[in-house]
Chain A
Amino acid sequence: MKYVIMFTTTPELEAAASPELVEQAYRRTYDWFGTHREVMTESGAQLQPVATATTVSSGGDEPVVADGPFSEAREVIGGFQVIDVPDLDAAIAIVKTWPLLELPGVAVEIRPIVVY
C-alpha cells in the first residue's frame, strides 16, 4: 500500500530546542532516507518554510487567494514522502524512527493514498 507521510513541526517549539540537538537530529534524517530508500517513491519533497505558503480557498463568486497556510494551527507541514509498504504497521514502524521526532512539537501524519 502507498502512504503519504507528512512531517509536521511546530516552529516556535523547535526554535526553543537547543541548536546542537536540532543540528544532530537534522543530520540523521539524511541517513534515515538512505536506510529506507527501498520503500521511498520518487515523489517526496521538503517544503519551503510555512511563511511562503499561499492558500486558495472557496469564496462567494470565485476562489479567494490569501496569504498563509491552511489553518491557524501551530503545527505546519514541513515536507512529505510517499512510501510503499505492506500495511499500516510497517508504515508506523518506519515513521517511529524519524530522527526529528526527538525534537519537541514534531509529529508525522500517515495517510493512505486512494488507488483506483
Chain B
Amino acid sequence: MNGTDGAAAQSGRGDAAASDHLLASVIREESARIVAALTRWLGSLDLAEESVAEAIEEAVREWRTRGVPPNPGGWLTQAARHNALDRLRREKRYREKLALLADPAEAAPLTGTGTGEPDERLPLLFGCCHPAISPDAQLALTLRAICGLTTAQIARATLTPESTVAQRIVRAKRKIGATGIPLRIPEGSERAARLDIVLTVVSVMYNEAHLVAGGDAAADRDLADDAVWLARVVAHELPREAEAQGLLALLLFHRAREGARAVDGELVLLADQDRARWDRRLIAEAQAVLEKAAKLRRPGRWQLHAAIAACHSDTRDGGDTDWLQVLTLYDMLLAYDRSPVVRLNRAVALAEVDGPQAALDEVDALGRALTGYHLWHAVRARMLRLLGRRDEAMAEDLRALELTANEAERRLLEARVDR
C-alpha cells in the first residue's frame, strides 16, 4: 500500500491522463499522512489541511508539465511545510512555531511513510467522522483531508456547488479546532459507534461515484477508486474489526461488477449483466475478505450487505441466483438496518421467492416513506408489470423518469417506457 516508489512515479511522464491517474494515487496515499503529521506539529487541523491542499494544487500544476518527481511524498511534504510557514508568517505567530517547523530532528519522520509506526491516518479519519460534525461535512472533510481531493473535485464528484463544499469544509475544520474534537481512534463502546460512521462515510463516497458514473460530469478523480482505497486502509489498520472487513468485501464485490454495470456509458441492470465482464480476481478477493470477517464472529450490516452481493456473484448467469438465501440475508439485515431503502431491496428478493403480489404489498407499505424516491417508483413499476397491470406500470416508470437526476438511469428508464 505504498504508491511512492520512484520508478512507478516517473513512468507517468508524458501521457497526461496516465500522469493524472498516478498523481491521484500518490496524493491519496500521501495527503492524510502529511495532514496528520502537520496537525501534530502545528496543533491545528485547519492550518495543516490548508497547507496540504495548497501543496496539492501546486503539485497538480507542476507535475502535469514536468512529470511526477522521484519522491512525490517528500515533494508534497516540503511544499506543505513551506505553505504552513507562509501562513504562520502572515498570521504573525511565526516566531512561536518556527522552531518546531525548522527543527530537522522533528521534521525527519514527515518524509518517511511510517513503516512499523501505527498509522496516523486513522485518528485523523475518526476525527473527520466525529458525530458532532454533520454527515455532509464528514464526507467533504474526509475527501479533502484524507483522500486529498480539491474543493473543485469534491464539488464535481458530489454534484454540489463548489461554494457549498468550501463552506462545509471551513466550518467543519473550525468546529474541530474550537470544540475540542480529538483526532484519535476512540476506545471501548464508543469505538463501534464511530467506526460505523466512518464506514458509512466510505460507503456514501462509493455511492456518490455512481451518481456521476455514466452521467455527463467529467470526473477527473474516480471516487470509487478513492472509496475502495480508503476501505482497504481501514480494513488493513483494524484487522480485528469485522465490519471494516465487511465493507471492504462489499465494495470489492461492487467494483468487480463495474465493467458489466456501465457499458459505453449505459447502465445495465444486475439481471442483464454480462457476467464474463465481471472481474473474477476482485470477486475472489472479496470472498476471501468476507470469510476473514466471518471468522471474527461479530456479524453486522456491512457483512450482511457483502454476503448478499456474494450470492449474486456466485451465479454463472442471473437465472440460478439463490433468492431464498438472498431473502434470508435481507431478513437478517433488517435486525441491523430497518431503513426503507433496505426494505425496498428486500421486496425485490421477495418477488423472486413469494411472487410479485407479495412484493407489491410490501412496496406499497413503504409508500409513505419513499414516495418521490425514483427507485421506489421503478420497483413498483416492475411489480405491476409482472402482474400484468401495464398502464399503471407505465405511469410509475414515467414518474421514476421524472424524478431521477442521473443521466444514465434516465436513459435506462426511457428505454423501458419506449418498449
Binding site for B on A (CB under 8 A): 1, 3, 86-89, 91-93, 112
Contact = CB atoms under 8 A, between A and B. Distances in A.
Interface in B98-130: 130
Given A88-B130, A112-B178, 13 more contacts: A1-B180, A86-B180, A86-B182, A87-B180, A87-B181, A87-B182, A88-B180, A88-B182, A89-B181, A89-B182, A89-B190, A91-B180, A92-B132
B186 A89 contact: yes
A78 to B, nearest CB: 22
Contacts of B130: 88
How big is the B interface, by class?
A: under 10
Interface in B181-232: 181-182, 186, 190
A106 B259 CA distance: 51
Nearest to B131: A92
21 contacts: A1-B180, A3-B180, A86-B180, A87-B180, A87-B181, A87-B182, A88-B130, A88-B132, A88-B179, A88-B180, A88-B181, A88-B182, A89-B181, A89-B186, A89-B190, A91-B180, A92-B132, A93-B190, A112-B178, A112-B179, A112-B180
Nearest to A114: B178
Contacts of A3: 180
Nearest to A2: B180
Contacts of A87: 180-182
Contacts of B182: 86-89
A93 B189 CA distance: 11
Contacts of B180: 1, 3, 86-88, 91, 112
A95 to B, nearest CB: 12
The listed residue with most B CB atoms (<10 A of its CB), out of A1, A88, A92, A112, is: A88
A87 B182 CA distance: 6
Contacts of A88: 130, 132, 179-182
Contacts of A112: 178-180
Interface in B352-382: none
A70 B271 CA distance: 58
A97 B132 CA distance: 18
A42 B255 CA distance: 57
Contacts of A1: 180
A1 B182 CA distance: 11
**For the complex of A and B, 4 pairs with smallest distance between CB atoms:** A87-B182, A1-B180, A87-B180, A88-B180
A112 to B, nearest CB: 5
Nearest to B184: A89
Contacts of B132: 88, 92
B132 to A, nearest CB: 6
Contacts of A89: 181-182, 186, 190
Interface string B329-356: 0000000000000000000000000000
Interface string B153-194: 000000000000000000000000011111000100010000
A3 B178 CA distance: 11
A93 B181 CA distance: 13
Contacts of A91: 180
Nearest to B130: A88
A52 B190 CA distance: 39
Contacts of B179: 88, 112
A87 B179 CA distance: 8
Interface centre among B180, B186, B190 (most CB of A within 10 A): B180
Contacts of A93: 190
A29 B186 CA distance: 27
A88 B176 CA distance: 9
A87 B130 CA distance: 13
A1 B132 CA distance: 16
Interface string B296-340: 000000000000000000000000000000000000000000000
